[in-house]
Amino acid sequence: MATMFSATGFCPSLILLVTILSVVIGSSFAGNFNDDVVVVFGDARARIQENGNLMSLALDNSSGSGFQSKNQFIYAKVEVNIKLVAGNSAGTVTSFYLKSEGNAWDEIDMEFLGNTSGDPYVLHTNIFTKGMGNREQQFYLWFDPTTDFHTYSITWNPAHIVLVVDKKPIREYRNLDSNNNVPYPRDQPMKLYGSLWNADDWATRGGSVKTDWSKAPFTASFKTYTADGCVYGNGASSCPDKTAPWYSSKQIGGDDLKQMQWVQKNYMIYNYCDDVNRFHGSLPAECGRKK
């Protein structure tokens, strides 16, 4: 019978087993597009380059393209660098989001709505719980997102969801469900998705500006993504380190709060919590007030 330990006092097989278990139980890793995602639509329009460090997505008048992570998580911080479609991108949507399966799904969205040349992108954010969204906040960006890669992240933990752009928090959605009857995604595992697709029925100026297919193929690039999360498998999830800052944080404060307030004051262009008419005078509970 083969021994578990080598003459040097350690066993390569045992080390491999520990490594595998660490991935199954929980993960903190720099993702590789070759190993960690699968293309879910678009076929060759989704191209993996640079030894798995870059995913290029294309959209033409036949199809867009997209990928999803192999792992699914209950709570995670995911981060990726994205360079958006340049030039006339009207009608196109580049998406980076977490989503569960089923008809009563949970979802955390960052969607970049294209525009005509010279007009700014709109970052459209939304949070779905049990298939219900209607929690949109929209922003302009304070830079040109098409000339270089910029960093976007989603943190989802038991206390709150935080969306971040280039290290600046732009949105926080807190878990107030225990005392205010505010729905919060907590028990459905979600996968990471990236996609580029046509949505010219609504994406640009409410659908009044259509995609100019003479500019196709449109291309967006995803690079250097990381996932730090509680991997779900066999009916349960386990977190390797609940003291990690992304998991243990409870509420935005300090400099992060000041940065979020700056972004929302200067670049937010729509907030569902201000749209009294939409909700017939009674805002959702998480908005903190009734009108």
Q: For residue 111, which of 96, 121, 98 has the smallest C-alpha distance?
A: 96
| DSSP category for residue 247 | H
| Helix or strand run (H / E) with residue 14 | helix 12-25
Half-sphere exposure of 231 (CA within 13 A, CB side): 19
Which residue in the list 79, 111, 172, 286 is annotated as catalytic?
A: 111
Which residue in the list 107, 136, 172, 286 is annotated as catalytic?
A: 107
Catalytic-residue membership of 107? yes
| Beta carbons of 220 and 145 less than 8 angstroms apart | no
Q: Can you say whether the dihedral through the CA atoms of 250, 245, 260, 82 is positive or negative? A: negative
Sequential DSSP letters for 134-157? ---EEEE-SS-TTSS-EEEEEEE-
As annotated, the active-site residues are 107, 111
